[in-house]
Each structure stands twice: as C-alpha cells, then as structure tokens.
Structure 1
C-alpha cells in the first residue's frame, strides 16, 4: 500500500499517542494493556515499513521528528519501569525452577 506523506506523518503521530498510552499503562502496572498497545504500535510500524518512503519537508518533517522524539522518550521511561519488574519476574522464575530441582533431587 502506498502511503502519502500526510498518511506517514499521521501514522507517526498515532504511534506517538500509542506510546504515551503505553507509558500510562506501565505506570499503572497494567501489563496486559501495555501488551495490547504494543501490538497496535507494531501494526502501525508494519504499515510504515511496507510503504515506499516518501520525502518529507518543512512542517511535515518537523511533525515526524517530534513524534519520533516522543516515542523515544516514552520508550525510555517504559524501560525504566519495566526493567525492575522483569528482573523480579526472572528471579521468581529462577527461584521456582531451583525449588523444583531441589524437590526432585531430594524427593520432596
């Protein structure tokens, strides 16, 4: 599908809004919503990557750059929130796995 330059800018702006929603979900520890929003974000990204690149100039280029900056900022904040959660989850999985191995080894 061929996207116009207006379509491209609009898609970037939609992705920036979704990134903001993802950040809110991460702040709320709403991991299910975060995962759903990530899927929506990926869908828009696929639309962009499947289209022929269109040169942007002036205000369109500024809007695109602004949207990308917003997405990068939200992504950084989301990573700051999810990294400790992922570490705790990994530790819990590791502990459970270790407990099972010990239980099997000692017939508990």
Structure 2
C-alpha cells in the first residue's frame, strides 16, 4: 500500500485523538450526554480505522506518530474514567428503581 494510505490512516488516528480530547473536555464540564455522543463518534472512527488500518504499512516516523496519538488517547480515557468514577459509584449505590433521578 502507498505512503498516502498510511497518511490517511494517521488522519483517522488524529481524528480519534481530537474526538477523545473533546470527550475529556465534556467530562470536565460534567456534560455526560456529550461524552456519550462523542463516544459514538469514536466508535465510528475506530471501525473505519480497522477497515483501512490493516492495509496501510507505516514508516518508523508514522509509527512514532501513531504511538504518540495512542498515548494521548489513553491519557484522555484515564482522566475521563477518573471523572466518571464518582458518578458511577453513585449509580451503583442507588437502588435500580431510583436511578432515573441520576440521569437528570
């Protein structure tokens, strides 16, 4: 596959990084509906990446860029989980019939 295809794959990784950063910003703003929306966008990007990523060999520099992006995404995800923990703890502590009050 051509170098252009590898760059296209990196574009998907970059888009995923940007979307995960927006998810983090939404989580920091306590906008969990937006986090969920962006999570859906990430799922679409990941599926597309799976389709094109298998056919695109990356140069060492491109692999380094992919590595940097993946680390950023993992940092975003860890922070989002950290922010979500109190909400998840409250969810688990609430009886199932009362959980709808947590959603509003």
TM-score relative to the length of structure 1? 0.79
Give aligned pairs, total: 95
Tell me whether 47-56 or 25-34 shows the greater mean CA deviation: 47-56
The structure 1 segments of at least 4 consecutive aligned residues displaced by more than 3 Å after TM superposition are 93-97
Query: Aligned residue for 1:68?
Result: 70
Query: Aligned residue for 2:42?
Result: 41
Q: CA deviation at 1:14?
A: 0.8
What CA distance in whole angstroms lies between the structure 2 residues aligned with 1:20 and 1:14?
10
SS where residue 56 of structure 1 aligns? coil
Distance 1:94 1:5, change over 3 A: same
Task: Decide which structure has the larger Cα Rg and report it.
Answer: 1
Which ranges of structure 2 fall in alignment gaps of 5 or more residues? Answer: 100-104
Query: Aligned residue for 2:79?
Result: 77
Q: CA deviation at 1:58?
A: 2.8
Which ranges of structure 1 fall in alignment gaps of 5 or more residues? Answer: 98-108
